[in-house]
Copies of this chain bind each other. A is one copy, B any other.
Amino acid sequence: MSFDEETAVRLARRPRWHYREGVSALDPNAIRQDFPILSREIHGKPLVYLDNAATSQKPFQVLKTSRDYYEEINANIHRGVHHLAQAATTAYEAARETVRAHLNAQSVEEIVFTSGTTDAINLVASVLGRSGKINAGDEIIISGLEHHSNIGPWQILCEQLGISLKIIPVREDGTLDLAIYETLLTDRTKLVSINHISNAFGTVNDVNSICHLAKQVGALTLIDGAQSIAHLSIDVQDINADFYAFSGHKVYAPTGIGVLWARRDLLEELPPWKGGGEMIKEVSFEKTTYNDPPFKYEAGTPNIEGAIALAAALNYVNNLGIESIHSYETHLIQELSSILSSIPEVTIYGPHDRSGAISFNIKGVHHYDLGTLLDQMGFALRTGHHCCQPLMARFGITGTLRASVGVYNTIGEVHALGEALERALKMLR
Protein backbone atom coordinates (compact mmCIF):
# COMPACT_ATOMS: atom_id res chain seq x y z
CA MET A 1 0.00 0.00 0.00
CA SER A 2 1.34 3.44 -0.73
CA PHE A 3 -0.01 6.87 -0.04
CA ASP A 4 0.13 9.73 -2.45
CA GLU A 5 -0.48 13.30 -1.42
CA GLU A 6 -4.14 13.16 -2.26
CA THR A 7 -4.83 10.16 -0.12
CA ALA A 8 -2.84 11.82 2.61
CA VAL A 9 -4.98 14.92 2.48
CA ARG A 10 -8.20 12.96 2.33
CA LEU A 11 -7.21 10.76 5.23
CA ALA A 12 -6.01 13.67 7.28
CA ARG A 13 -9.41 15.35 6.94
CA ARG A 14 -11.41 12.30 7.94
CA PRO A 15 -12.62 12.57 11.53
CA ARG A 16 -10.92 10.08 13.73
CA TRP A 17 -13.33 10.05 16.63
CA HIS A 18 -17.02 10.53 17.09
CA TYR A 19 -18.92 11.69 20.07
CA ARG A 20 -20.91 8.76 21.25
CA GLU A 21 -21.71 7.23 24.58
CA GLY A 22 -19.55 4.50 25.98
CA VAL A 23 -16.04 3.67 26.96
CA SER A 24 -14.38 5.72 24.32
CA ALA A 25 -14.85 8.41 21.77
CA LEU A 26 -12.17 6.97 19.51
CA ASP A 27 -13.06 5.40 16.22
CA PRO A 28 -10.56 2.59 15.82
CA ASN A 29 -11.72 1.78 12.32
CA ALA A 30 -10.93 5.26 11.15
CA ILE A 31 -7.63 5.18 13.02
CA ARG A 32 -6.69 1.89 11.41
CA GLN A 33 -6.75 3.60 8.01
CA ASP A 34 -3.83 5.70 9.16
CA PHE A 35 -1.62 2.64 9.63
CA PRO A 36 -0.65 1.12 6.28
CA ILE A 37 0.80 -2.06 7.78
CA LEU A 38 -2.51 -3.06 9.38
CA SER A 39 -3.93 -4.03 6.01
CA ARG A 40 -1.28 -6.73 5.65
CA GLU A 41 -1.98 -10.42 5.72
CA ILE A 42 0.21 -12.88 7.60
CA HIS A 43 0.16 -16.51 6.45
CA GLY A 44 -2.96 -15.60 4.49
CA LYS A 45 -4.76 -14.24 7.56
CA PRO A 46 -5.35 -10.59 8.46
CA LEU A 47 -2.60 -9.26 10.72
CA VAL A 48 -3.68 -8.76 14.32
CA TYR A 49 -0.83 -6.81 15.86
CA LEU A 50 -0.76 -7.21 19.62
CA ASP A 51 2.95 -6.64 20.23
CA ASN A 52 2.75 -2.93 20.87
CA ALA A 53 4.80 -3.04 24.05
CA ALA A 54 7.74 -4.22 21.93
CA THR A 55 7.21 -1.56 19.30
CA SER A 56 4.29 0.34 17.81
CA GLN A 57 3.25 0.63 14.19
CA LYS A 58 3.50 4.02 12.46
CA PRO A 59 0.70 6.14 11.03
CA PHE A 60 1.17 7.63 7.59
CA GLN A 61 1.21 11.07 9.22
CA VAL A 62 4.52 10.13 10.81
CA LEU A 63 5.85 8.40 7.70
CA LYS A 64 4.93 11.40 5.62
CA THR A 65 6.69 13.75 8.03
CA SER A 66 9.89 11.74 7.67
CA ARG A 67 9.62 11.70 3.92
CA ASP A 68 8.74 15.37 3.68
CA TYR A 69 11.73 16.19 5.82
CA TYR A 70 14.04 14.49 3.34
CA GLU A 71 12.24 15.74 0.26
CA GLU A 72 12.09 19.34 1.40
CA ILE A 73 14.46 20.53 4.10
CA ASN A 74 17.10 17.93 4.93
CA ALA A 75 20.41 19.46 6.04
CA ASN A 76 22.73 19.25 8.98
CA ILE A 77 21.54 21.51 11.75
CA HIS A 78 22.94 24.40 13.81
CA ARG A 79 25.52 26.87 12.57
CA GLY A 80 24.55 26.58 8.89
CA VAL A 81 23.93 29.86 7.08
CA HIS A 82 22.06 28.33 4.17
CA HIS A 83 18.32 28.07 3.95
CA LEU A 84 17.99 24.28 4.32
CA ALA A 85 20.26 24.21 7.36
CA GLN A 86 18.08 26.83 8.94
CA ALA A 87 14.81 25.14 8.03
CA ALA A 88 16.07 21.83 9.40
CA THR A 89 17.29 23.51 12.58
CA THR A 90 13.96 25.24 13.06
CA ALA A 91 12.06 21.97 12.58
CA TYR A 92 14.37 20.09 14.93
CA GLU A 93 14.08 22.71 17.65
CA ALA A 94 10.31 22.89 17.15
CA ALA A 95 10.25 19.12 17.76
CA ARG A 96 12.02 19.72 21.05
CA GLU A 97 9.30 22.19 22.00
CA THR A 98 6.62 19.64 21.09
CA VAL A 99 8.24 17.13 23.42
CA ARG A 100 8.55 19.74 26.14
CA ALA A 101 4.88 20.59 25.91
CA HIS A 102 3.91 16.91 25.83
CA LEU A 103 5.77 16.23 29.07
CA ASN A 104 4.90 19.60 30.57
CA ALA A 105 8.58 20.24 31.17
CA GLN A 106 9.58 23.72 32.26
CA SER A 107 11.88 24.51 29.37
CA VAL A 108 13.26 23.11 26.14
CA GLU A 109 16.70 23.07 27.74
CA GLU A 110 15.46 20.09 29.74
CA ILE A 111 14.75 17.97 26.66
CA VAL A 112 17.68 15.89 25.41
CA PHE A 113 17.21 13.79 22.29
CA THR A 114 18.75 10.33 22.62
CA SER A 115 18.55 7.22 20.49
CA GLY A 116 16.03 5.62 22.87
CA THR A 117 15.20 4.77 26.47
CA THR A 118 18.22 2.53 26.88
CA ASP A 119 20.49 5.26 25.61
CA ALA A 120 18.88 7.78 27.96
CA ILE A 121 19.27 5.56 31.03
CA ASN A 122 22.89 4.86 30.13
CA LEU A 123 23.48 8.57 29.75
CA VAL A 124 22.25 9.17 33.29
CA ALA A 125 24.21 6.21 34.69
CA SER A 126 27.40 7.34 33.03
CA VAL A 127 27.27 11.00 34.01
CA LEU A 128 26.08 10.32 37.56
CA GLY A 129 28.93 7.86 37.85
CA ARG A 130 31.42 10.59 37.07
CA SER A 131 29.66 13.38 38.96
CA GLY A 132 31.02 12.67 42.42
CA LYS A 133 27.41 12.41 43.59
CA ILE A 134 27.63 8.65 44.07
CA ASN A 135 30.48 7.01 45.90
CA ALA A 136 31.59 3.62 47.15
CA GLY A 137 29.15 2.29 49.70
CA ASP A 138 26.20 4.19 48.29
CA GLU A 139 23.08 2.48 47.03
CA ILE A 140 20.80 2.60 44.03
CA ILE A 141 17.25 1.28 44.26
CA ILE A 142 15.47 -0.34 41.35
CA SER A 143 12.60 -2.83 41.38
CA GLY A 144 11.94 -6.43 40.54
CA LEU A 145 9.71 -5.27 37.72
CA GLU A 146 12.45 -3.62 35.70
CA HIS A 147 13.35 -4.16 32.07
CA HIS A 148 16.98 -5.18 31.46
CA SER A 149 17.60 -1.66 30.19
CA ASN A 150 16.89 -0.36 33.69
CA ILE A 151 19.05 -3.04 35.32
CA GLY A 152 22.14 -3.36 33.13
CA PRO A 153 23.35 0.25 33.31
CA TRP A 154 23.17 0.18 37.11
CA GLN A 155 24.94 -3.14 37.38
CA ILE A 156 27.79 -1.73 35.31
CA LEU A 157 27.83 1.36 37.53
CA CYS A 158 27.82 -0.74 40.69
CA GLU A 159 30.87 -2.60 39.51
CA GLN A 160 32.67 0.62 38.62
CA LEU A 161 31.95 2.51 41.79
CA GLY A 162 31.65 -0.22 44.38
CA ILE A 163 28.07 0.67 45.15
CA SER A 164 25.17 -1.71 45.53
CA LEU A 165 21.78 -2.30 44.02
CA LYS A 166 18.71 -2.70 46.22
CA ILE A 167 15.59 -4.22 44.79
CA ILE A 168 12.00 -3.32 45.63
CA PRO A 169 10.34 -6.74 45.69
CA VAL A 170 7.37 -7.63 43.53
CA ARG A 171 4.28 -8.95 45.31
CA GLU A 172 2.28 -11.93 44.14
CA ASP A 173 -0.13 -9.63 42.29
CA GLY A 174 2.69 -8.11 40.24
CA THR A 175 2.78 -4.80 42.11
CA LEU A 176 5.70 -3.32 44.01
CA ASP A 177 5.94 -3.66 47.76
CA LEU A 178 6.17 -0.01 48.69
CA ALA A 179 6.31 -0.79 52.40
CA ILE A 180 9.59 -2.55 51.82
CA TYR A 181 10.67 0.27 49.52
CA GLU A 182 10.38 2.65 52.45
CA THR A 183 12.68 0.49 54.53
CA LEU A 184 15.23 0.38 51.71
CA LEU A 185 15.47 4.15 51.55
CA THR A 186 18.36 5.44 53.65
CA ASP A 187 20.79 8.28 53.40
CA ARG A 188 23.00 5.95 51.39
CA THR A 189 20.33 5.85 48.66
CA LYS A 190 21.55 8.09 45.87
CA LEU A 191 19.14 7.15 43.09
CA VAL A 192 15.82 5.40 42.64
CA SER A 193 15.10 4.20 39.09
CA ILE A 194 11.71 2.64 38.37
CA ASN A 195 9.54 2.08 35.36
CA HIS A 196 6.27 3.92 35.08
CA ILE A 197 4.49 0.93 33.53
CA SER A 198 5.95 -2.57 33.53
CA ASN A 199 6.36 -3.88 29.99
CA ALA A 200 6.05 -7.46 31.19
CA PHE A 201 2.88 -7.26 33.29
CA GLY A 202 1.35 -3.87 32.57
CA THR A 203 1.62 -2.86 36.23
CA VAL A 204 1.28 0.91 36.65
CA ASN A 205 3.62 2.04 39.37
CA ASP A 206 2.82 4.87 41.73
CA VAL A 207 5.71 6.98 40.55
CA ASN A 208 4.53 10.09 42.35
CA SER A 209 4.81 8.39 45.74
CA ILE A 210 8.03 6.66 44.77
CA CYS A 211 9.62 9.99 43.85
CA HIS A 212 8.18 11.75 46.86
CA LEU A 213 9.64 9.21 49.27
CA ALA A 214 13.00 9.24 47.48
CA LYS A 215 13.25 13.01 47.81
CA GLN A 216 12.85 12.70 51.55
CA VAL A 217 16.20 10.95 51.79
CA GLY A 218 17.70 13.24 49.16
CA ALA A 219 17.89 10.57 46.46
CA LEU A 220 17.59 11.39 42.78
CA THR A 221 14.83 9.68 40.79
CA LEU A 222 14.65 8.36 37.25
CA ILE A 223 11.40 7.16 35.72
CA ASP A 224 11.64 4.75 32.80
CA GLY A 225 8.70 5.84 30.69
CA ALA A 226 9.26 3.45 27.77
CA GLN A 227 5.81 1.95 28.23
CA SER A 228 3.88 4.85 29.73
CA ILE A 229 4.56 7.28 26.91
CA ALA A 230 1.98 5.63 24.63
CA HIS A 231 -0.66 5.03 27.27
CA LEU A 232 -0.64 7.77 29.90
CA SER A 233 -0.68 11.50 30.09
CA ILE A 234 2.69 12.46 31.53
CA ASP A 235 3.49 15.54 33.55
CA VAL A 236 7.09 15.53 34.70
CA GLN A 237 6.53 18.46 37.04
CA ASP A 238 3.66 16.66 38.72
CA ILE A 239 5.60 13.39 39.05
CA ASN A 240 8.47 15.47 40.38
CA ALA A 241 11.20 13.07 39.29
CA ASP A 242 14.67 14.21 38.26
CA PHE A 243 14.91 12.21 35.04
CA TYR A 244 12.27 10.76 32.71
CA ALA A 245 13.22 8.58 29.73
CA PHE A 246 11.24 7.22 26.79
CA SER A 247 11.63 5.81 23.26
CA GLY A 248 9.93 7.18 20.19
CA HIS A 249 9.32 3.78 18.60
CA LYS A 250 6.91 2.81 21.37
CA VAL A 251 4.70 5.82 20.69
CA TYR A 252 4.13 5.58 16.92
CA ALA A 253 7.43 7.27 16.00
CA PRO A 254 10.40 5.72 14.16
CA THR A 255 13.21 3.68 15.68
CA GLY A 256 16.44 5.38 16.68
CA ILE A 257 14.99 8.33 18.58
CA GLY A 258 14.20 8.83 22.25
CA VAL A 259 14.16 11.45 24.93
CA LEU A 260 15.75 12.12 28.25
CA TRP A 261 13.99 14.78 30.24
CA ALA A 262 16.10 16.04 33.12
CA ARG A 263 15.92 18.91 35.56
CA ARG A 264 17.82 21.79 34.05
CA ASP A 265 20.07 22.42 37.03
CA LEU A 266 21.18 18.80 36.91
CA LEU A 267 21.98 18.98 33.22
CA GLU A 268 24.00 22.09 33.89
CA GLU A 269 25.86 20.60 36.80
CA LEU A 270 26.54 17.05 35.60
CA PRO A 271 29.58 16.26 33.45
CA PRO A 272 29.15 15.59 29.73
CA TRP A 273 28.71 12.06 28.40
CA LYS A 274 29.83 11.65 24.81
CA GLY A 275 32.34 14.10 23.37
CA GLY A 276 32.14 15.49 19.88
CA GLY A 277 30.59 18.01 17.55
CA GLU A 278 27.61 20.06 18.80
CA MET A 279 28.29 19.46 22.50
CA ILE A 280 31.37 21.61 22.46
CA LYS A 281 31.59 25.39 22.66
CA GLU A 282 35.28 26.11 22.25
CA VAL A 283 37.86 23.51 21.43
CA SER A 284 41.58 23.68 21.61
CA PHE A 285 43.97 20.89 22.33
CA GLU A 286 44.72 22.57 25.64
CA LYS A 287 41.24 23.39 26.84
CA THR A 288 37.72 22.63 25.77
CA THR A 289 34.53 24.19 27.08
CA TYR A 290 31.18 22.52 26.73
CA ASN A 291 27.98 23.83 25.27
CA ASP A 292 24.91 24.53 27.40
CA PRO A 293 22.16 21.93 27.87
CA PRO A 294 20.54 20.34 25.99
CA PHE A 295 23.31 20.53 23.36
CA LYS A 296 25.92 19.50 25.90
CA TYR A 297 24.34 16.04 25.80
CA GLU A 298 23.78 15.82 22.06
CA ALA A 299 27.22 15.05 20.67
CA GLY A 300 27.43 14.56 16.92
CA THR A 301 24.76 14.87 14.28
CA PRO A 302 21.51 13.94 16.02
CA ASN A 303 18.73 11.87 14.53
CA ILE A 304 17.18 14.98 12.99
CA GLU A 305 14.51 13.14 11.03
CA GLY A 306 13.73 10.98 14.05
CA ALA A 307 13.16 13.97 16.32
CA ILE A 308 10.88 15.65 13.81
CA ALA A 309 8.94 12.44 13.22
CA LEU A 310 8.65 11.93 16.97
CA ALA A 311 7.01 15.33 17.22
CA ALA A 312 4.59 14.26 14.48
CA ALA A 313 3.79 11.11 16.46
CA LEU A 314 3.14 13.08 19.65
CA ASN A 315 0.92 15.41 17.66
CA TYR A 316 -0.93 12.40 16.33
CA VAL A 317 -1.48 11.13 19.86
CA ASN A 318 -2.53 14.53 21.12
CA ASN A 319 -4.98 14.96 18.28
CA LEU A 320 -6.73 11.82 19.42
CA GLY A 321 -6.24 12.79 23.03
CA ILE A 322 -4.11 10.71 25.33
CA GLU A 323 -6.95 10.45 27.84
CA SER A 324 -9.28 9.00 25.21
CA ILE A 325 -6.55 6.62 24.11
CA HIS A 326 -6.03 5.53 27.68
CA SER A 327 -9.66 4.81 28.37
CA TYR A 328 -10.10 3.04 25.04
CA GLU A 329 -7.06 0.86 25.60
CA THR A 330 -8.13 0.09 29.14
CA HIS A 331 -11.41 -1.14 27.72
CA LEU A 332 -9.50 -3.49 25.39
CA ILE A 333 -7.27 -4.77 28.17
CA GLN A 334 -10.22 -5.39 30.47
CA GLU A 335 -11.97 -7.33 27.75
CA LEU A 336 -8.81 -9.34 27.13
CA SER A 337 -8.61 -9.99 30.82
CA SER A 338 -12.10 -11.37 31.03
CA ILE A 339 -11.63 -13.55 27.95
CA LEU A 340 -8.36 -14.95 29.29
CA SER A 341 -9.86 -15.53 32.74
CA SER A 342 -12.32 -17.95 31.26
CA ILE A 343 -9.55 -20.25 29.99
CA PRO A 344 -9.08 -23.23 32.33
CA GLU A 345 -5.79 -23.33 34.20
CA VAL A 346 -4.72 -19.88 33.04
CA THR A 347 -2.46 -17.71 35.16
CA ILE A 348 -2.71 -14.01 34.48
CA TYR A 349 0.15 -11.93 35.89
CA GLY A 350 -0.03 -8.44 37.25
CA PRO A 351 -2.79 -6.47 38.92
CA HIS A 352 -6.28 -6.02 37.54
CA ASP A 353 -5.86 -2.34 36.75
CA ARG A 354 -2.99 -2.93 34.38
CA SER A 355 -2.21 -0.74 31.41
CA GLY A 356 -1.21 -1.55 27.86
CA ALA A 357 -0.23 -5.19 28.28
CA ILE A 358 -1.52 -8.43 29.73
CA SER A 359 0.73 -11.42 30.38
CA PHE A 360 -0.37 -14.99 30.98
CA ASN A 361 0.52 -18.67 30.91
CA ILE A 362 -1.62 -21.76 30.56
CA LYS A 363 -0.70 -24.78 32.59
CA GLY A 364 1.08 -27.51 30.62
CA VAL A 365 1.37 -25.36 27.53
CA HIS A 366 4.59 -23.67 26.48
CA HIS A 367 4.15 -19.96 25.71
CA TYR A 368 6.46 -20.45 22.74
CA ASP A 369 4.15 -23.09 21.23
CA LEU A 370 1.08 -20.96 21.77
CA GLY A 371 2.83 -17.96 20.23
CA THR A 372 3.90 -20.04 17.24
CA LEU A 373 0.40 -21.31 16.54
CA LEU A 374 -1.11 -17.86 17.05
CA ASP A 375 1.38 -16.46 14.56
CA GLN A 376 0.13 -19.01 12.02
CA MET A 377 -3.32 -17.53 12.52
CA GLY A 378 -2.06 -13.97 11.95
CA PHE A 379 -1.70 -12.88 15.57
CA ALA A 380 1.50 -11.10 16.60
CA LEU A 381 2.06 -11.58 20.33
CA ARG A 382 5.30 -11.73 22.23
CA THR A 383 6.47 -14.80 24.11
CA GLY A 384 9.39 -15.21 26.46
CA HIS A 385 10.96 -13.17 29.22
CA HIS A 386 10.26 -9.72 27.76
CA CYS A 387 13.74 -8.62 28.81
CA CYS A 388 12.70 -9.08 32.43
CA GLN A 389 14.52 -12.24 33.47
CA PRO A 390 14.63 -11.39 37.18
CA LEU A 391 10.87 -10.89 37.16
CA MET A 392 10.37 -14.24 35.43
CA ALA A 393 12.65 -15.87 38.01
CA ARG A 394 10.61 -14.27 40.78
CA PHE A 395 7.53 -16.08 39.45
CA GLY A 396 9.44 -19.26 38.66
CA ILE A 397 8.66 -19.15 34.96
CA THR A 398 10.72 -19.01 31.77
CA GLY A 399 8.38 -16.53 30.19
CA THR A 400 4.81 -15.59 29.40
CA LEU A 401 2.61 -14.93 26.44
CA ARG A 402 1.92 -11.22 26.28
CA ALA A 403 -0.74 -9.30 24.38
CA SER A 404 -0.15 -5.56 24.28
CA VAL A 405 -2.46 -3.05 22.69
CA GLY A 406 -2.21 0.12 20.70
CA VAL A 407 -4.73 2.73 19.68
CA TYR A 408 -5.57 0.82 16.48
CA ASN A 409 -6.56 -2.47 18.10
CA THR A 410 -10.23 -3.34 18.20
CA ILE A 411 -12.62 -5.28 20.34
CA GLY A 412 -13.10 -7.50 17.31
CA GLU A 413 -9.43 -8.38 17.36
CA VAL A 414 -9.60 -9.10 21.06
CA HIS A 415 -12.46 -11.52 20.52
CA ALA A 416 -10.71 -13.11 17.58
CA LEU A 417 -7.70 -13.69 19.80
CA GLY A 418 -9.93 -15.50 22.26
CA GLU A 419 -11.11 -17.84 19.51
CA ALA A 420 -7.62 -18.36 18.14
CA LEU A 421 -6.38 -19.25 21.61
CA GLU A 422 -9.11 -21.83 21.96
CA ARG A 423 -8.16 -23.38 18.65
CA ALA A 424 -4.45 -23.42 19.48
CA LEU A 425 -5.09 -24.92 22.89
CA LYS A 426 -7.07 -27.74 21.32
CA MET A 427 -4.02 -28.64 19.28
CA LEU A 428 -1.65 -28.47 22.21
CA ARG A 429 -3.62 -30.43 24.74
Interface residues of A (CB under 8 A from B): 1-2, 4-5, 36-37, 40, 42-43, 47, 49, 51, 54-55, 57-58, 63, 66-67, 70-76, 79-85, 115-119, 121-122, 125-126, 130, 147-156, 160, 165, 167, 247, 249, 254-257, 272-277, 279-280, 282-285, 288, 299-306, 368, 371-372, 374-375, 379-384, 387, 389-390, 393
Contacts and interface: CB of A to CB of B under 8 A. Distances in A.
A148 B249 contact: no
Given A67-B67, A72-B40, A153-B275, A119 B389 contact: no
A305 B73 CA distance: 20
Nearest to A2: B5
Given A71-B2, A75-B380, A83-B42, A255 B303 contact: yes
B36 A54 contact: no
A256 B74 contact: no
A81 B300 contact: no
Contact of A300 (B43, B117, B155): B117
23 contacts: A1-B71, A37-B73, A42-B82, A43-B83, A51-B85, A57-B74, A75-B380, A81-B375, A82-B374, A115-B256, A121-B276, A122-B275, A126-B126, A130-B160, A149-B277, A149-B300, A150-B276, A151-B283, A152-B280, A254-B303, A255-B305, A256-B305, A282-B389
A255 B81 contact: no
B80 A382 contact: yes
A80 B54 contact: yes
A192 B255 CA distance: 33
Given A63-B71, A79-B384, A276-B149, A285 B51 contact: no
A119 B67 contact: no
Contact of A283 (B115, B148, B275, B382): B148
